[in-house]
Amino acid sequence: MAIEALHKMVYSSTNLFHHQCAYNSTLLSVITPNTLHAPFYHTTKPSYIALAASKPFNLLAPILVYWAICTVFHYLDTAKYPYFENRRIHESPEMIARNKVTFNEVIKAVFLQHAIQLVLGYLWFEDSEVILRDQIYVDHLSKMANLVPWVADGTLLLLGKRAGEQVLLKHGEKLVAWIYWWGIPIAQMYFAFAVTDTWQYFMHRAMHNNRFLYRHFHSHHHRLYVPYAFGALYNHPVEGFFLDSLGSAVAEKAAFMTLRQATLLFVISSIKTADDHCGYKLWWDPCQLLFANNADYHDIHHQAYGIKSNFSQPYFTNWDRILGTQMSRTEADGKTRWKKLGHEYSEHDKHNVISEGHAKKVN
């Protein structure tokens, strides 16, 4: 398990900070794990270890997941089951009439995007031998032991000396193991989400505010006025590199992730971006249930009236709220016709707009 970020803070501040409970060596020894307390995702099976350290597997996993999710939504688009038809954000004929790019062109662009992603990933990820040495065959017990003083300090600080010592004596070993195997990885993942959101918000907004960037790059993606899952990665290759691939790479490096954590991050990102463009409003869909930034939210951005709103993607809506670029569905439903955007590229968009009506209301 990777806790490099925490380790760096520990080692850099060792000479400057004296642990509050350093005097109590007995307490520290009691809460120091003597067994791994390994979670379900930890394995010692050679076949699984080889797979976890395999470069091809980790590179292909997000791509295969993307194609699987998009294929499911494409099947629903064509099967036209009443349940799902009633939950479309836009009617099916509207997709055909308003989108300015064919399905085959979208598929070709996705293939190209993934080819670029494979090449970049191959250059970015370390070799399997390095992964095995630095991330797989590591001394977890020693790493948990290094974590012990920090867990003790935090507990005593939060609960006070008397209550803190009681908690540590009773649950300290399990607490250390939980923080090591679950707490730190969850924090790393959340931090990576935040970095991704920050990167994509400001890059995305810049591509709308800069006439050159919009016309030559980002306008490709906005040929899909009615999004669908495969179209999530219908981008100009330059945008695909800077907005998606590079942003994800920066996020996993900033969060000090292992290869397995990075792969999970990229898999989640692939699922989320496909779902955000799926064209359905499904209350039970985990991506729409857990995140306010979802298919309905992002659909507003793809309409002419919302093209200067809802830049946040793919996880949270924080930057839109903070910087005043958020448009709710209620506000969007009040936009009944195309309006000039008041920007240099408005004329560039005008010929692509047929007419604006209310988005379909979903029960």
pLDDT at residue 343 greater than cutoff 60: no
How does pLDDT run across 30-87, given as a tens digit for each residue?
A: 999 999 888 988 888 888 888 888 889 999 999 999 999 999 999 999 999 999 999 9
How does pLDDT run across 169-188, given as a tens digit for each residue?
A: 999 999 999 999 999 999 99
The DSSP code for 181 is I
Of residues 335 and 239, which shows the higher confidence score? 239
Of residues 196 and 345, which shows the higher confidence score? 196
What is the spatial distance between Cα 72 and Cα 79, in angstroms, rounded to a whole number?
10
- Considering the domain boundaries, does residue 361 fall inside one? no
pLDDT at residue 200 greater than cutoff 70: yes
- Considering the domain boundaries, does residue 362 fall inside one? no
Angle among Cα 201, 203, 208 to the nearest 5 degrees reads: 95
Q: What is the pLDDT at residue 187?
A: 97
Q: What is the pLDDT at residue 26?
A: 83
Q: What is the pLDDT at residue 50?
A: 85
Overall average pLDDT of the 212-238 stretch: 93
The residue behind tokens 């009944």 is: 336
Overall average pLDDT of the 355-361 stretch: 47
- Considering the domain boundaries, does residue 33 fall inside one? no
pTM of the model: 0.84
Plot region of 122 (φ>0 → left; ψ -120 to 50 → alpha; else → beta): alpha
- Considering the domain boundaries, does residue 241 fall inside one? yes
- Considering the domain boundaries, does residue 55 fall inside one? no
What is the spatial distance between Cα 321 and Cα 162, in angstroms, rounded to a whole number?
42
Mean residue pLDDT across the chain: 86
- Considering the domain boundaries, does residue 104 fall inside one? yes
What is the spatial distance between Cα 171 and Cα 259, in angstroms, rounded to a whole number?
31
Contact yes or no for 357/93 (Cβ under 8 A): no
What is the spatial distance between Cα 216 and Cα 207, in angstroms, rounded to a whole number?
10
pLDDT at residue 167 greater than cutoff 90: yes
Most confident range (mean pLDDT) of 42-51, 76-85, 326-335, 339-348 is 76-85
Q: What is the pLDDT at residue 135?
A: 87
Cα Rg of the chain (Å, integer): 24
Lowest mean pLDDT among 5-14, 67-76, 186-195, 258-267: 5-14
State the total domains in the chain: 1
DSSP 306-346: GTTS----SS--HHHHHHT----HHHHHT--S----SSTTH
- Considering the domain boundaries, does residue 49 fall inside one? no
- Considering the domain boundaries, does residue 75 fall inside one? yes
Q: Give 356's pLDDT tier (boundaries 50, 70, 90).
A: very low
Q: Is the peptide bond before 314 cis (omega within 30 degrees of 0)?
A: yes
Q: What is the pLDDT at residue 20?
A: 54
Q: What is the pLDDT at residue 230?
A: 95
pLDDT at residue 5 greater than cutoff 90: no
Q: Give 94's pLDDT tier (boundaries 50, 70, 90).
A: low
Domain range for 9 is 4-25+61-350
Q: How large a percentage of the chain has pLDDT more than 70?
A: 85
Overall average pLDDT of the 209-238 stretch: 93
Overall average pLDDT of the 262-277 stretch: 96
Instruction: Please choose, from the candidates 293, 286, 287, 280, the residue with its C-alpha nearest in 3D space to the C-alpha of residue 359.
Output: 280
